[in-house]
């Protein structure tokens, strides 16, 4: 999105079951002052299929996208990949925003959503609303269904997600690798005030890995803070990147 400017470009890494498409509105708005690059992570969207979903591998993928000085924004799974990249392959990385995730393991398995997607009989789906109606029995939250359905290719009758690998690698995805070192660049941990993904107990670990970490919360937002409060999220990102 946008053309190169005097400001460093921004690379955006989405979360589990997401895609570059999810970030189109925010990326387009941010591109008024800098170029914004949004990727489909491996096994998501139009990117390549692979046998692993490890953070070391995803960090390696991200490091191949950019050259020169740049900023990095990652949400959830993308935030963990961004952190590992900052710790292992920081060349060119100036500032980083980690959206609602910490460098720790979680018990928030998402395997039930994979099962829900598998239970949609795509042979009878003619339009997105058909799949939504089937999903409703297994996924009650309207926002979650709408998010998942962004990865449904109705015409091709397939999910643009490698569900088998994502299920097999769920332990890797909800975990965090044992990495050493630290990233000394400015880092913002931007969380939803209603989310429990970044807790006070996580701060010592965060500060050890990211000594210049700062923390901010968006009121009345949960884990999907960029979708729930897009204007507030965009404003916080701008303030940090322009500081």
> Which residues form the catalytic set?
76, 164, 223
Q: Look-up: residue for tokens 């042979």? A: 123
Let me know: does 66 contact 42? Beta carbons within 8 Å: no
**Residue 217: φ, ψ to 5°:** -130, 145
Let me know: does 78 contact 181? Beta carbons within 8 Å: no
Let me know: does 68 contact 93? Beta carbons within 8 Å: no
Strands 158-159 and 152-153, bridge-based pairing? antiparallel
Upper half-sphere CA count for residue 85 (Cβ side, 13 Å) = 33
């Amino acid at each position: 999105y946008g053309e190169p400017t005097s400001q460093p470009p921004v690379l955006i890494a989405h979360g589990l079951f997401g895609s570059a498409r999810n970030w189109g509105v925010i990326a387009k708005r941010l591109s008024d002052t800098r170029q914004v690059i949004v990727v489909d992570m491996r096994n998501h969207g139009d990117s390549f299929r692979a046998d692993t979903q490890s953070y070391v591998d995803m960090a390696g993928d991200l490091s191949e996208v950019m050259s020169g000085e740049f900023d990095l924004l990652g949400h959830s799974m993308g935030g963990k990949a961004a952190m590992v990249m900052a710790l292992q392959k920081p060349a060119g990385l100036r500032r980083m925003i980690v959206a609602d995730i910490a460098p720790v393991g979680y018990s928030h398995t998402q395997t039930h959503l994979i099962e829900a997607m598998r239970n949609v009989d795509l042979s009878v789906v003619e339009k997105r609303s058909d799949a939504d109606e089937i999903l409703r029995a297994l996924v009650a939250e309207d926002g979650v269904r709408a998010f998942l359905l962004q990865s449904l290719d109705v015409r091709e009758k397939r999910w643009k997600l490698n569900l088998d690998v994502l299920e097999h690698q769920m332990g890797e995805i909800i975990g965090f690798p044992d990495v050493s070192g630290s990233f000394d660049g400015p880092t913002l941990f931007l969380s939803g005030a209603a989310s429990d993904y970044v807790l006070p107990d996580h701060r010592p670990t965060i500060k050890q890995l990211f000594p210049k970490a700062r923390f901010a919360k968006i009121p009345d937002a949960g884990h999907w803070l960029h979708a729930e409060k897009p204007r507030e999220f965009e404003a916080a990102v701008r303030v940090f990147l322009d500081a």
